[in-house]
Amino acid sequence: MTREPGLAEPWHRIAIIGAGAAGRSARAALLAAGLTDVVMLDRTSGREVLSSRFDEETDTWLLTTAGGEIFQARVVIAAYRPVQVPWLPDIAGRDDFLGDSFHAAAWDRHFDPTGKRVAVIGADATAGHHIPRLIDSGASVTVFAHPPRRIVPELPLPTTRARRWLRRRVGPAANNRPAPALVGSAISAITPSGIRTTDGSGYMDHDVDAIIYGTGFAVPGPTSDGTLVGAGGLAIGEMWDDGMEPYFGVALHGFPNYFFLGEPDVGAQARYVAECVGLMEHTASTRIALRRSTQQVFNERVYVRSAQPHRVASAFDLSSSARGDDGTYDGAATLTIAGTEHRVRVRLAGRLDPIDGHYHWQGTVFTSSSQPLPDEALKQARDATLTVGAYSAPARIIEQTPWGTHTVAGQGAPPYALR
């Protein structure tokens, strides 16, 4: 085992917090991937971790136990939910419902859906894991979208290759199983017999026998600011919005090299985390960070089956040091689209990708309400030129966000000076 110079002892490449079934699953997946420098920290061994803090200078986590020991690890796997708890939205009449009701992450093991009309509110990825089984045994399953999640129509699979890929990932039975009913109208209340929704034409009552909440998680107010502190000194309570859930249950933007494991599919999560850590080793990276866009998209959609993660290299950013080749710019710029210049403000960041060897940059374009980017121009052309002072670079407008800003990205020299 090779230790990195300059780091306080004891130092390990991977620390697993929790020695229960999830912790053992994580260790098995890591060993199967050839990753052996692992330490298990657990309260039963007198090493209950009370504080986890990311160190920017070394791209490692400092873990403080109840006994005062400090461990340093490149990667941390929390084989439990260290701070987040299932979140139930404050919907009028929620406590008046007379049937079964519970959160998908706190499953009622005595619940029998056989012959019942089941409603799923959300539905987050945790609930999505259970929906196929509910469809098989319940009389009906209806999914009600609830913010921040929305119903996203699935795109058709145009090629035979795409259909084969889907069958490998989710199984041949997935395409043949009946789909749940989907309701996109806003929920206005829970009634004793079901759910009331409203739209522009009035309200509608949906009678159901059981309600399952797939509404993500919350971080309780009393959580200590030092329990989990990520990049930039950001405490988890400061970045968490009620209803969020980690990407595929394993990662959060702003908490590099830190992974979670939890129900409902610990085995799949453990294998995915091992794949993440394995890619770090293969690319000699010291930091793996979930992209903000990956987390945002994951938390915005309704899931009617088990979520499938993206390839690690497309969902995460990898870098060889905390401060190496990263560059940022926040300020005025000129965006040229189809020959027309637009004065904008941009917030950009970039990094050298160790996988393809190219410099990639991306960020957000802000405009004033009085001078928005023209919709017609964006429909005709997504290619643009972004200029900051004496620096210019080809850019591509990726999408418009729900907040009216635009996402922009480019490859090669960025439109700002690298420090």
Residues 308 and 334 in one domain: no
Return the closest-CA partner of residue 62 out of 322, 282, 257, 275.
257
Residue 90 pLDDT class (50, 70, 90 cuts) = very high
The CATH code of the domain that includes 71 is 3.50.50.60
pLDDT (tens digit, 9 = 90+) per residue, 150-190? 887 654 544 555 455 445 555 554 455 678 999 999 999 99
Where is average pLDDT lowest: 6-10, 44-48, 325-329? 6-10
Stretch 334-342: mean pLDDT: 88
Residues 129 and 174 in one domain: yes
If one counts every other C-beta atom within 10 angstroms of the C-beta of residue 241, the result is 12
Residues 406 and 296 in one domain: no
255 located within any domain:
yes
407: pLDDT strictly greater than 90: no
When divided into structural domains, the chain yields a total of 3
Residues 161 and 131 in one domain: yes
pLDDT (tens digit, 9 = 90+) per residue, 237-262? 888 889 999 999 999 999 999 999 98
Residues 310 and 354 in one domain: no
Q: Of 156, 182, 213, which closes a domain?
A: 213
Measured distance CA(417)–CA(386) in Å, rounded: 13
Residues 93 and 69 in one domain: no
Return the closest-CA partner of residue 113 out of 127, 94, 95.
127
| pLDDT top residue among 342 and 372 | 342
Q: Of 156, 189, 213, which closes a domain?
A: 213
Q: Of 213, 248, 278, which closes a domain?
A: 213
Contacts of residue 105, defined as CB under 8 A and 6 or more positions apart, other chains included, come to: 86, 126, 217, 262, 263
DSSP 305: S
Tell me the residue range of the domain where 313 lies: 11-83+227-319
| Helix 266-283 with 21-32: angle, nearest 10 deg | 40
1: pLDDT strictly greater than 70: no
Per-position DSSP letters for 399-418, written without gaps between them? EE-TTS-EEEEEESS-SS--
Residues 304 and 344 in one domain: no
Stretch 17-41: mean pLDDT: 93
221 located within any domain:
no
Residue 85 is inside which H or E element, if any? strand 85-86
Residues 206 and 96 in one domain: yes
